[in-house]
Amino acid sequence: MKRYFGIYGGQFVSETLIRVLKELEEAFREFKKDKKANEELKNYLKNYAGRPTPLYFAKNLSSSLNTRIFIKREDLLHSGAHKLNNTLGQIILAKFMGKKRIVAETGAGQHGVATATAAALLGMECVVYMGKKDAERQRPNLLRMKLLGAEVRIVNKGSMTLKSAINEALRDWVKNVKTTHYLIGSVVGPYPFPSIVAYFQSVIGKEAKRQILKMEGALPDSVIACVGGGSNAIGIFSGFINDKNVELYGIEAGGESLELGKHSAALTKGRVGILHGAISYLLQDEFGQISKVHSISAGLDYPGVGPQHSYLKDTGRVKYDVCFDKEAIEGFKLLSRLEGIIPALESSHVLGYLIKNKHKFQNKTIIVNLSGRGDKDLPIIENIGLFDDINKQLVNL
Ligand SMILES: *Cc1c(COP(=O)(O)O)cnc(C)c1O
C-alpha cells in the first residue's frame, strides 16, 4: 500500500484524523490477511451482488465500428453499478473493526444508495449527508436511501452540494470515531482510502483478465473506462497495468466545453492542488478555489480525481482524454440500439469516445468497462428532447 503515488496522495488532514487514519490502515492490513472476512465478502459478491459479471462480446457494436469490443458488464451488478463492490467491502471491513455505524456523503446520490444497500444487508446503522441542492435535484435517490433504511441528513450550509456534505460527514466521523466508519465512494481522499477502494474494485480487473484470456487466448489491445473520482477505472486497469502492451484509456467528462470551463475534466484541464485531504490534479481558479464542475452525468461531476490517476497521467501509462456531453449521448443511443443495453451516462462517455476515435481502434480488441446501467438517466435524456416524437403523438391523440 502506497502513501504516495509519485508526488500525489498523502494525508492533508487535522491531527485528530491522522490518528484515526493510522488505525484504519492497520485494521485494513489485518483485514486483507483474514480468511473469514474475505470469505464473507466473496460470498456476498457472488450470491448477493451477482459476481462474476459477464464479459460480453458486443458483435453488433463491433461490426458497426470495425473493431472487436468486449463489454465488462458492471451494469449487471446488483443496484446497477460498480459502486456496490466498494460499499460491501468497506462495510465488511467496518464490521471487522467492530464498528456499528457508517457515515457517508453523497452528491448525485448513487454512492449514498450503494452505501445504504450494503448497510441494510449487513445490519449497520447508516447516516448519509447530502447537500440540500443535491437532495432536491436527485429526489429518486433520496427516496431510495430512505426505503433502504438510511438516515439522510440534509446539509443546508455552504455550497449545499457535495463539498458541504463531505465537511459534515468528516465532522461526524471525528466525533464518533469509536463506533463509526467513514465510507468513501471513490479512489479519493487521504491515504489509506484510495488504496482501500482500489483493493475492493480490483475484482473487476481480475475477472476481466481471466475472462478475456479464456475467450480470446490473448490480452486485449486496449482497456477503456470513464473517470469521475476514478474507482471503476482503477478497478479494471489494475488487472492489466503490468501488461505493458495493453493500452489503457481513461475518459473524463468534457461537458459542454473545455474552453468555457463547463466540464469536469480534472486530469485534462486541472492543476495540482489539495482536495479532500490529498494532493492530486483538480479544477481550481487562479486563487485556488475549487471550480464549479459540469457534466451531463452526475457521477462524473467531481472537481478532483484520485491521486493514482494523477500519477498514471504523468508517467504516461494511462492516456486520458475527454468525451463531450453530446458525444456521450451518441454513445448512449448507439449501445441501446445495437446491443439492447442502456448504459449509464457516465459509461456512455467511453462509447462516445470510441465512436469519435474509431479510426484509431480499427480491428483492435478492446475491453470497455460498462460501469453502470442507464435507467436512472431517462429524465435527463427526456429533457434534451430524445422522446419528442412519442410525446407529440400522446398530445395529439
Ligand atoms: C459513480 C459512478 C461513476 C464514477 O465514479 P468512479 O469512481 O470514477 O468510477 C461512473 N459510472 C457510474 C455508473 C457511477 O455510478
Q: Is 180 helix (H, G, I), strand (E, B) or coil?
A: strand
228 lines ligand 1 (CB under 6 A): yes
Which protein residue's CA is at the shortest distance from atom 3 of ligand 1?
A: 299
Residue nearest to atom 5 of ligand 1 (CA): 228
pLDDT at 109 exceeding the cut of 90:
yes
Distance 301 CA to ligand 1 centre (A): 10
> What's the whole-model pTM score?
0.97
What angle is formed at CA 300 by the lines to CA 298 and CA 304, rounded to 5 degrees? 125
* Residue 67 CA: distances (Å) to CA of 32, 252, 301: 39, 22, 30
Strands (E), 299-350: 318-324
Q: Is the CB of 231 under 6 A from ligand 1?
A: yes
Each residue's pLDDT tens digit, 252-284: 999 999 999 999 999 999 999 999 999 999 999
pLDDT of residue 119: 98
- Over the chain, what is the mean pLDDT? 96
Reported as a pLDDT band with limits 50, 70 and 90, residue 164 is: confident
Q: What is the largest CA-CA distance in the chain?
A: 66
Interatomic CA distance for residues 280 and 5, integer angstroms? 10
Q: Which amino acid is at 386?
A: L
Segment 361-395, tens digit of pLDDT: 999 999 999 999 999 999 899 998 888 888 889 88
Cell of 60: 453488433
- The arithmetic mean of pLDDT across residues 81-107, rounded, is 97
373 lines ligand 1 (CB under 6 A): no
Atom 7 in ligand 1: which residue has the minimum CA distance?
A: 231
Which are the contacts of 19, defined by CB distance < 8 A and separation ≥ 6?
none
Distance 346 CA to ligand 1 centre (A): 6
Catalytically annotated residues: 83, 105, 371
Q: How far is CA 229 from the centre of its chain?
A: 6
pLDDT the model gives residue 189 = 96
- Spell out a b/e string for 85-123, using b for 16 or more CB atoms within 10 Å of the CB, else e: bbbbbbbbbbbbeebebbbbbbbbbbbbbbbbbbbbbbe
Atom of ligand 1 nearest to the CA of 108: 1
Give CA–CA dist 319/316, Å, rounded.
6
- Residue 225 has φ and ψ, to the nearest 5°, of -145, 155
Quote the ligand 1 centre to 350 CA distance (angstroms). 12
The C-alpha cell that represents 94 in the structure block: 467496518
Give 7 or 2, the one with higher predicted confidence: 7
Query: HSE on the CB side for 235, CA within 13 Å?
Result: 31
- Helices 193-216, 83-96: axis angle to 10 degrees equals 130
pLDDT of 298 reads 84
Q: How confident is the model at residue 163 (pLDDT cuts 50, 70, 90)?
A: confident
In short, whether 346's Cβ falls inside 6 Å of ligand 1 is yes
* Residue 74 cell numbers, joined: 458492471
CA atoms within 13 A on the CB side of 176: 18
Q: What is the pLDDT of residue 258?
A: 93
Task: Specify the amino acid at residue 126.
Answer: C
Residue 225 CA to ligand 1 center (angstroms) comes to 10
pLDDT for 158 equals: 83
SS3 125: strand
For residue 346, pLDDT beyond 90: yes
- CA separation for the pair 78, 85 (Å, rounded): 10
**Percent of the chain topping pLDDT 70:** 100
Question: What cell numbers appear for 135 in the block?
Answer: 437532495
In eight-state DSSP terms, residue 53 is P
Virtual torsion, Cα 170, 171, 175, 176, nearest 10 deg: -40
